[in-house]
């Protein structure tokens, strides 16, 4: 059985109800795969994790993941890449969330086909360098599902207390 993941990531702070609306077209597309191809699938809200020992696990209300189980290759007319490309072409128009695909492969080597690390002392320069690398990779024919591990997080709120006003309100 061949397996692949469809990772869904909306902006941080997206309510889970909105994420569920965003994944509905993906769910429909996967469920419409021919029974000759589809063994089964599941969807997890709030986590992206291929296996219990996956070091790239991501959590949050703004993410989800489909795990798709295909029938054995010899029982299908399309290979896994063709099936993924078919789903990708039907879900490209989705704007509410970023969609990426990950083909699970058994044995060695494990991990992404290409992994690039960017380090530096200035965070803004790192973010710009990552954008440049992603842009360069995107310009290469055959490269798809470019992702990064940057997680912006929620906006920070700083509260400055006026001591005399706080005292007048009996706050300490």
Region 63-84: mean pLDDT is 93
* DSSP per-residue codes, 74-94: GG-SS-HHHHHHHHHHHHTT-
Instruction: Reply yes or no on whether the pLDDT at 108 is more than 60.
Output: no
Question: Pick the residue with more confidence: 161 or 54?
Answer: 161
Q: What is the pLDDT of residues 12-47, one digit of tens each?
A: 888 888 888 888 999 999 999 999 999 999 999 988
pLDDT digit string (tens) for 125-136? Answer: 888 888 898 888
Cα separation, 23 vs 99, in Å, equals 9
- Widest Cα–Cα separation across the chain: 78
Query: Which residue reads 């089964």 in tokens?
Result: 40
Look at residue 1 in the predicted model and tell me its pLDDT: 80
Q: Tell me the H-state helices in 32-103.
A: 80-91
- To the nearest 10°, report the CA torsion of 48, 50, 55, 56: -40
pLDDT at 112: 66
Contacts of 24 (CB under 8 A, 6+ apart): none
- What are the backbone dihedrals phi and psi of residue 74, each rounded to the nearest 5 degrees, phi first? -70, -15
**The whole model's pTM is what?**
0.68
- Averaged over 71-87, what is the pLDDT? 93
């Amino acid at each position: 059985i061949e397996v692949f993941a469809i990772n869904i990531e909306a902006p941080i702070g997206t309510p889970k109800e909105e994420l569920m609306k965003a994944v509905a077209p993906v769910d429909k597309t996967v469920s419409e795969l021919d029974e000759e191809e589809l063994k089964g699938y599941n969807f997890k809200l709030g986590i992206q994790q291929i296996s219990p020992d996956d070091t790239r696990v991501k959590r949050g209300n703004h993410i989800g993941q489909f795990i798709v189980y295909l029938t054995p290759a010899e029982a299908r007319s399309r290979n896994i890449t063709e099936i993924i490309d078919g789903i990708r072409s039907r879900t490209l128009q989705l704007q509410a969330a970023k969609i990426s695909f990950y083909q699970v492969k058994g044995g060695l080597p494990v991990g992404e086909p290409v992994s690039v690390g960017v380090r530096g002392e200035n965070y803004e320069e790192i973010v710009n360098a990552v954008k440049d690398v992603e842009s360069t990779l995107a310009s290469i024919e055959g490269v798809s599902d470019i992702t990064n591990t940057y997680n912006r997080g929620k906006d920070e709120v700083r509260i400055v207390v006026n001591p005399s006003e706080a005292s007048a309100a009996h706050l300490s």
